[in-house]
Amino acid sequence: MDSQAVRSAMVRRLQAQGVSHPAVLAAMGAVERHRFVDTALAGQAYEDTSLPIGLAQTISKPSVVARMVELICQGRSERLGRVLEIGTGCGYQAAVLSHVSREVYTIERLRGLHEKARENLRPFRLSNVHLLFGDGMLGFAQGAPYAAIIAAAGGEDIPAAWVEQLAVGGRLVAPAHTVAGRQNLVVIDKTAAGVQHTVLEAVHFVPLKSGVA
């Protein structure tokens, strides 16, 4: 597989779907997604589909990763500061985030996946990515405040700890259940005047859970 060629084709599809931020497109083109899935699934790595990564979890579709990362980068041409990712999974999105931010703290509640992400990310030598094992619903107060927070699991509501740990001027992007009972992408912008919620398109993410396992 010529991974550079298939990644370039994936980036062109993302552009056709409306992703336009240059840094996000460059990051999606740089990170080798096939290295984050089982060898048997490597041939599907650049298709716009979520794939199983074990422990009933999935790696998000490239279009969803690009969409969420573009939302936190919106209106900024320079790198983001410190970013918190809730739900490391296999480590793919953390690798993408490492290209658009100065520092990434990423937290995973399932030890098996935390170890798998460490293994997957090791060859990339990303000195700005910090892997944490713990309860993502609590965020990571020691690294706060964050320029952006991004979550790969959806709950009934956005945990208060995340909003507290977001910097003024920062943005949080996460799936959450709306009044209608559907799961939608929610954007929270924290300003000096308060917190602004925006509900975007319907999405389908694994459930947000507390505790570790």
Say which amino acid occupies 157.
D
H or E element, residue 28: helix 22-30
Q: Apex CA 154: angle with CA 148 and CA 160, to 5°? A: 55
60 is an active site residue: yes
Q: Tokens 């992400």 map to which residue?
A: 117
- Which residues make beta-bridge pairs with 196? 189
Q: Could you give the CA distance from residue 117 to residue 67 in angstroms, rounded to a whole number?
A: 22
Judged by DSSP in three states, 159 sits in coil
Q: From CA 146, how far away is CA 83, in angstroms rounded? A: 5
Kindly name the residue from 3, 50, 60, 101 that is annotated as catalytic: 60
- Separation of alpha carbons 59 and 93, rounded Å: 9
At residue 106's C-alpha, the angle toward residues 185 and 123, to 5°, is: 120
The set of catalytic residues is 60
